Amino acid sequence: MAGHEFTSIRSPRIKGARRLAKRAFRQRERRFLAEGPQAVREALAAPGTVHDLYTTSEAMQRHADLLSAAHARDVPVHRVSLEVMSELAQTVTPQGLLAVCDFVDVSLADVGRIRLAAVLSHVRDPGNAGTVLRTADAAGADAVIFTDASVDPYNGKCVRASAGSLFHLPVVVGVGIGEVIDHLRATGARVFAADGGGERDLHAAAESGDLDEKVAWVFGNEAWGLPEEAIALTDGAVSVPIYGAAESLNLATAAAVCLYTTARQQRTRARSSPRRREYAPEA
């Protein structure tokens, strides 16, 4: 169990963890903060990811299972005061658990098989980005790719919004949109831009069979969408139909509709495809 309680934010260890709230330090050390029991639980389930765990005395009692998991993985556990946790945490009401984690992103070449993927291009809001990551995970996507023009997926708000999904599927960070699309096409995927001004709507794309095979969706900025030059690189812009009076859908909602529609089409196609008949050799 954790022994000494850290009560001062001037401790070198606490200062080292605290500075990971800033992107420059995260990138230099390739570590980030995962806050709250859900994020910590999923981080501990990813072997070799958690570097240190900070907890209050109250949280130690409430989440004894997570402390046991940390000890089983030889993760150092540090007990801190409520005041220190308030300085480390990035939420108004900290839940008393915070893990220092190693970066989990992979290179584009290491993603492997892609049947469904989400690409975030010029997405700046960390809450939206984390929600798209969580949705992609729930829809069974094989990867989420953050281009070099998008928010840092290790931003505290993005990590929290992902609800642990950051640790579930391959995440690629900091690549150019052109390189991403070239790679996805090389894997055999069709790449569509989700755009309110798309020449086709999502239902038409689904009915035509365009979503039945490998598909990657490119989602753009919350306010102005995708640049024309980015859309030109894709296989076309597709819009989510709006049947009511709403002016538009927000990014996370549009992404959920696109990803789940594609996942449904792919699974329907897989179930309806006839299985190959296997023949035994004649005697």
Q: Is residue 112 part of a domain?
A: yes
Q: Let me know whether 139 and 225 are in one domain.
A: yes
- The reported pLDDT for the residue numbered 280 is 43
Residues 78 and 183 occupy one common structural domain? no
Residue 270: the pLDDT is: 75
Give the chain's domain count.
Answer: 2
Confidence band for 273, pLDDT divided at 50, 70 and 90: low
| Spatial CA neighbour of 88 closest among 15, 2, 6, 27 | 15
User: Is 281 a domain residue?
Assistant: no
Q: Is residue 119 part of a domain?
A: yes
Of 139, 212, 130, the C-alpha closest to 171 is 130
Domain boundary among 102, 129, 156: 102
SS3 state at 57? helix
Counting residues of the chain whose pLDDT is more than 90, the rounded percentage is 83
pLDDT recorded at residue 30: 97
pLDDT at position 277 is 42
Residue 88 in any domain: the answer is yes
The CATH number of whichever domain residue 203 belongs to comes to 3.40.1280.10
Q: Report the CATH number that the domain containing residue 49 is assigned in CATH.
A: 3.30.1330.30
Considering the domain boundaries, does residue 279 fall inside one?
A: no
Same domain, 37 and 59: yes
Q: Which of 127, 122, 282 is nearest to 218 (CA)?
A: 122
The mean pLDDT value for 4-30 works out to 94
In the listed set 102, 135, 151, which residue is the last one of a domain according to the structure? 102
Tell me how many degrees the CA angle 132-135-141 measures, rounded to the nearest 5. 100
Q: Is 43 part of any domain?
A: yes
Domain coverage including residue 74: 5-102
What pLDDT was estimated at residue 3?
Answer: 61
Query: Taking 80 as the threshold, does the pLDDT of residue 283 lie above it?
Result: no
Q: Check if the beta carbon of residue 250 is closer than 8 Å to that of residue 128.
A: yes
Between strands 190-194 and 215-219, the pairing is parallel
Q: Looking at the domain assignment, is residue 280 inside a domain? A: no
Alpha carbon distance 44, 161 (integer Å): 18
Maximum Cα interatomic distance, the chain, rounded to a whole number of Å: 81
- 235 and 117 share one domain: yes
**Where among 51, 81, 102 does a domain terminate?**
102
State which H helix or E strand residue 41 sits in: helix 37-45
